[in-house]
Structure 1
Amino acid sequence: MNATAPGTPTESTTGGTLRRGLSARHIRFIALGSAIGTGLFYGSSDAIQTAGPAVLIAYMIGGAVVFLVLRALGEMAVANPVAGSFGEYARKYLGPLAGFTTGWTYIFEMVIVCLADVTAFGVYMGFWFPDVPRWIWVLLVVLVVASVNLISVKVYGELEFWFSLIKVVAIIAMIAGGAAILIFGFGVHDVSTGVSNLWTHGGFAPNGIGGIIASFAVVIFAYGGTEIIGVTAGEAANPEKTIPRAVNTVPIRVILFYVLTLAVIMAINPWTSVDSKSSAFVQIFQGLGLHAAATVLNLVLITAALSAINSDIYGAGRLLYGMAHKGQAPAAMRRVSRGGVPWVTVAAIAVALLIGVVLNALIPDRVFLIIAAIATFATIWVWLMILLAQVASRRKMSAEEQAELKFPVPLWPYGPIAAIAFLLFVFGILAYYPDTRVAIIVGVVWLALLTLAYQLWVRRASEDRSEDAHDETHPPAVMAADPATVPPTTSSEPELEQP
């Protein structure tokens, strides 16, 4: 699909059109909003407990893999910016079943990640209202954010820009404030602060290489969502410029934010004092006696959660919309409001998120770890499909076509191959550790159900459409007809678009 001007529809839909209303500014901050959220502000506590200060190495390695995944996605998105993005690329280069499983697994990923985000929101609100059941906050945030997503993509993009900007400013302030505490000793406290905290409490890698490896599960969860850049391609005002800018800047910013922020946190306070009951950010400032700062930070964490939830609902809804146009989701998902919003998909995602209300009412203490592990499986699968689709697309190109690529992936072919090997390794990590093994079980069952659904409904519907088209193209011959009156036949069948 060629790039169109802002405000023009991307394709015809039932009841309206999906409109291009996202600028480069919106896209960069949407990606940041999805990646810098619960994984950093809440999940980082588990990562620190697992690997100690050496978790910084895990985040740097994970960040390098994220960069390669996004560059592979960017190569395809610039060449062919479509609604549905990587689900469509998987279908085109790996086959209909791969496209079907990739699209639905990304939707599954976004729903699961969003469940983690709404759970974290409930935890943050508990900082101020400990007596209010968490599920009440979860229900409230689902209804509010879903309503925002139903207005228009431009309103969504603008809101996400300001949400993410608050997070970015807060992180920068956190790094600067932490540096001031380390250098000038601000705050009234009894705890020991200093860069030496990174290696004096059991060493830099207190749990050895095994701890670093185990932390990869949390690290990948934290970086999950950055691939939303590809989803925005269908609504980007100028994909050839906006997508490369976002792809090149977002991974670097994410890596810097994660690594610098966590380094400051573990330097201010020993990593052994960090637990998973609340955000490491709030714990650190409370431990330093800066209770007012902890309150402000909790407000920032709530904004961060809202931002991530906002991005998750957007990403899942837009991919579901794109799949509906390929016959891989119910046709009702193609319905678009007058404001250019696929409102049925947004509503469907919001209903799915009500599961989070039930889980937080039944198992509030275990829900986050289980959700994070399952989300990691889904993230790895989607990233693998992106990389494999890019490799397949390159293998189908001539040397001239490869030379004409406007945004080629770096380190080809070794970079994508190394990233694929790493992601397969993380699958093994999930299967090895008892706490995350449930993710493999759920993931395998999910993929099996998707394969069955594809065979029973999508493939059968595709075959029925093919037969109908064949009948219309080749009507039955008339017996004993004069050969001169029979129209000539062609040797090839017309091309039929597969879902």
Structure 2
Amino acid sequence: MAQFTQALARGLNVRHIRFMALGSAIGTGLFYGSAAAIQAAGPAVLLAYMIGGAAVFLVMRALGEMAVRHPVSGSFGQYASRYLGPFAGFITGWTFAFEMAIVAIADVTAFGIYMGFWFPEVPRWIWILAVVFLIAALNLMRVKVFGEAEFWLSIVKVGAIIAMILGGAAIVAFGFGLPDAANPGLGTMLGEGGFFANGFWGLLASFSIVMFAFGGIETIGITAGEAENPKNAIPAAVNTVPVRILLFYVCTLAVLMMIFPWNQIDGETSPFVQIFDALGIPAAAHILNAVVITAALSAINSDTFGAGRMMYGLAQQGQAPASFAKISRHGVPWMTVATMTAVLLAGVVLNALLPESLFTIIASIATFATVWVWLMILLSHIAMKREIRRKGLAASEFGVPFWPVASYAALAFMVFIVVLLGVMPDTRVAMVVGVVWIGLLFVAYRFGVKGKGHARAELVDQTAAAPADPAGAEQINAGR
């Protein structure tokens, strides 16, 4: 694979980073997984997305503050090592890589399901095999090429979501394509049991899919090592992407439930395709199927990037095989791309063996890994803030709003989600797999990493010199 360099090539700008985060977080969770969330909670799923989205925004602000202060490859894995200790960094980094691998398998599974809408007679695994090699090729190119591909893939799905919101609003207002007896609007949304149609328990049950849907947005932090100007790119992405995602999820699903009874969404294909196919609008279902396929490609692309860059950062810390730190002549860690390709090929086999139940199982496992990573981001951030205050360091240029109340509230919410996964019968397998995974990491660290002289990560602080008054520094930081 040619020559190796010591660092990743910087080629991602603000535009790339914003849309890469959208690529991970607006994909299978919205276009396919939302069916399961709607079935669980009914219209109350909108409240679940708003609550979950607010918590995730605070996680992203915490990550953004650390990324601006320490713009490194491996991002929050290295932050956990620096502020919580090497073992915490090891668990965080590998759990994120695990999360991205599991989510990528869910995404390729959804891709196969989408292709089945057009080619029901073709086995799903054939399409998945084809997309795995396509994504591998994209991720081996220069990072700028990857960023451009992700930008345009994301543009398609974002444009489609906006068009669906506007088109759905027109259907609600004028009844296009609906039968004469239809009652579009709140009447359709609330007509099957009201807002809390499945009760408070149904709302809680939806959180596992809701949080899965937001998984991958933390990829913003991973891009810090390849951003051309992290101090500008990271805050711009953190401030706008979570809000856009929240609006897209809430507005889109609200419009869908206003034009189609939520209890008739069956989950056999994308609810978007099912609804517009049922309305009989010419070619709409086929256009939307092309869009959700684009969305799946975008998500798999971002998943592969995120997992690979995290494994690269782990290798730099001596917590992953040294080969993962090898860089190709294009400035890309090619061994990590090869590893993710192998994982996705395992997804091909799983889809051949478990075509019906695979998505739900994978989504719940991915939720555990996602929420665990968010917990570690929040704990790392809290530890960093304490160190800033204790040592009288300079205030962060991009701090978390309403510190410390907001950070501790988000931390409590993430703990609640982990507990919820263990309580709900349908997601209990995620807790079991998660506990086994953490146990395996402990054994791997104890016998494979610990004792090799790896101290806490030393990160360069990009913040300006500290002000004279330590208390003033903390006040400035808290007020941002």
Give TM-score scaled by structure 2 length: 0.93
Q: C-alpha deviations, 1:167-187, integer Å up to 9, x for none?
A: 100000000000111111112
1:357 partnered with 2:344: no
For residues 141-156 of structure 1, the aligned pairs below 5 Å read 141-156=131-146
1:371 partnered with 2:362: yes
Cα distance in 2, alignment partners of residues 71 and 269 from structure 1 = 36
Q: C-alpha deviations, 1:95-130, integer Å up to 9, x for none?
A: 100000000000000000000000000000000000
What is the Cα deviation at residue 403 of structure 1?
A: 5.9
Cα distance in 1, alignment partners of residues 49 and 392 from structure 2 = 35
Choose from 377, 386, 408 the match for 2:377: 386
Letter in 1 for 2:385: R
1:169 partnered with 2:169: no
The change in CA–CA distance for 1:195 and 1:275 in structure 2 (over 3 A counts) is same
Cα distance in 2, alignment partners of residues 216 and 402 from structure 1 = 38
Cα distance in 1, alignment partners of residues 44 and 328 from structure 2 = 49
1:33 partnered with 2:33: no
Choose from 398, 404, 416 the match for 1:407: 398
Which residue in the other structure is 2:75 paired with? 85
1:108 partnered with 2:81: no
Does the 8 A contact of 2:17 with 2:237 survive in 1? yes
Which residue in the other structure is 2:319 paired with? 328
What is the Cα deviation at residue 399 of structure 1?
A: 7.1
1:462 counterpart SS class: coil
Cα distance in 1, alignment partners of residues 202 and 332 from structure 2 = 44
Q: Compare CA radii of gyration and give the structure with the larger one.
A: 1
Does the 8 A contact of 2:4 with 2:328 survive in 1? no
Between 138-147 and 36-45, report the one with greater CA deviation.
138-147
The change in CA–CA distance for 1:81 and 1:189 in structure 2 (over 3 A counts) is same
Letter in 1 for 2:106: A
What is the Cα deviation at residue 201 of structure 1?
A: 0.8
Does the 8 A contact of 1:24 with 1:242 survive in 2? yes
Letter in 1 for 2:420: I
What is the Cα deviation at residue 443 of structure 1?
A: 0.4
Which residue in the other structure is 1:234 paired with? 225
Cα distance in 2, alignment partners of residues 496 and 196 from structure 1 = 57
Q: For structure 2, which runs of at least 5 residues remain unmatched after alignment? A: 460-480
Which residue in the other structure is 2:331 paired with? 340
Identity of aligned residues (%): 61
Does the 8 A contact of 1:191 with 1:269 survive in 2? no
2:8 counterpart SS class: strand
Letter in 1 for 2:247: L
1:458 partnered with 2:434: no
The change in CA–CA distance for 1:461 and 1:126 in structure 2 (over 3 A counts) is same
Does the 8 A contact of 2:82 with 2:458 survive in 1? no
Which residue in the other structure is 2:477 paired with? none
For residues 55-454 of structure 1, the aligned pairs below 5 Å read 55-187=45-177, 189=179, 192=182, 193-398=184-389, 401=392, 404-454=395-445
The change in CA–CA distance for 1:191 and 1:18 in structure 2 (over 3 A counts) is farther
Does the 8 A contact of 2:368 with 2:418 survive in 1? yes
What is the Cα deviation at residue 404 of structure 1?
A: 2.1
What is the Cα deviation at residue 389 of structure 1?
A: 0.2
What is the Cα deviation at residue 461 of structure 1?
A: 2.4
The change in CA–CA distance for 1:329 and 1:191 in structure 2 (over 3 A counts) is farther
Q: C-alpha deviations, 1:272-315, integer Å up to 9, x for none?
A: 11111111101110111114100000000000000000000000
Cα distance in 1, alignment partners of residues 181 and 300 from structure 2 = 35
Q: For structure 1, which runs of at least 5 residues remain unmatched after alignment? A: 1-12, 467-494
Does the 8 A contact of 2:22 with 2:154 survive in 1? yes
RMSD: 1.6
The change in CA–CA distance for 1:196 and 1:16 in structure 2 (over 3 A counts) is same
The change in CA–CA distance for 1:191 and 1:84 in structure 2 (over 3 A counts) is farther
Give TM-score scaled by structure 1 length: 0.89
The change in CA–CA distance for 1:190 and 1:338 in structure 2 (over 3 A counts) is farther
What is the Cα deviation at residue 195 of structure 1?
A: 2.5
What is the Cα deviation at residue 396 of structure 1?
A: 1.0
1:19 partnered with 2:9: yes
1:436 counterpart SS class: helix
Q: C-alpha deviations, 1:345-370, integer Å up to 9, x for none?
A: 11111101111111110111000000
Does the 8 A contact of 1:16 with 1:338 survive in 2? no
Does the 8 A contact of 1:115 with 1:353 survive in 2? yes
Letter in 2 for 1:417: Y
Letter in 1 for 2:76: F
Cα distance in 1, alignment partners of residues 326 and 10 from structure 2 = 16
Cα distance in 1, alignment partners of residues 308 and 392 from structure 2 = 33
Letter in 1 for 2:29: G
Does the 8 A contact of 1:195 with 1:268 survive in 2? no
1:33 counterpart SS class: helix
Does the 8 A contact of 2:63 with 2:76 survive in 1? yes
Which residue in the other structure is 1:7 paired with? none
Letter in 1 for 2:416: F
Letter in 2 for 1:170: A
- What is the number of residues matched between the two proteins? 456
Letter in 1 for 2:130: L
Does the 8 A contact of 2:317 with 2:457 survive in 1? no
Between 353-362 and 365-374, report the one with greater CA deviation.
353-362
Cα distance in 1, alignment partners of residues 119 and 152 from structure 2 = 26
1:406 counterpart SS class: coil
2:343 counterpart SS class: helix
1:51 partnered with 2:41: yes
What is the Cα deviation at residue 401 of structure 1?
A: 4.6
Cα distance in 2, alignment partners of residues 403 and 191 from structure 1 = 64
Which residue in the other structure is 1:485 paired with? none
2:7 counterpart SS class: strand
What is the Cα deviation at residue 190 of structure 1?
A: 6.2
The change in CA–CA distance for 1:328 and 1:155 in structure 2 (over 3 A counts) is same
What is the Cα deviation at residue 17 of structure 1?
A: 3.4
Q: C-alpha deviations, 1:50-99, integer Å up to 9, x for none?
A: 00001000000000001000000001000110000000000000010000
Between 454-463 and 376-385, report the one with greater CA deviation.
454-463
Q: C-alpha deviations, 1:238-261, integer Å up to 9, x for none?
A: 111110000000010000000000
Does the 8 A contact of 1:191 with 1:288 survive in 2? no
Cα distance in 2, alignment partners of residues 320 and 258 from structure 1 = 30
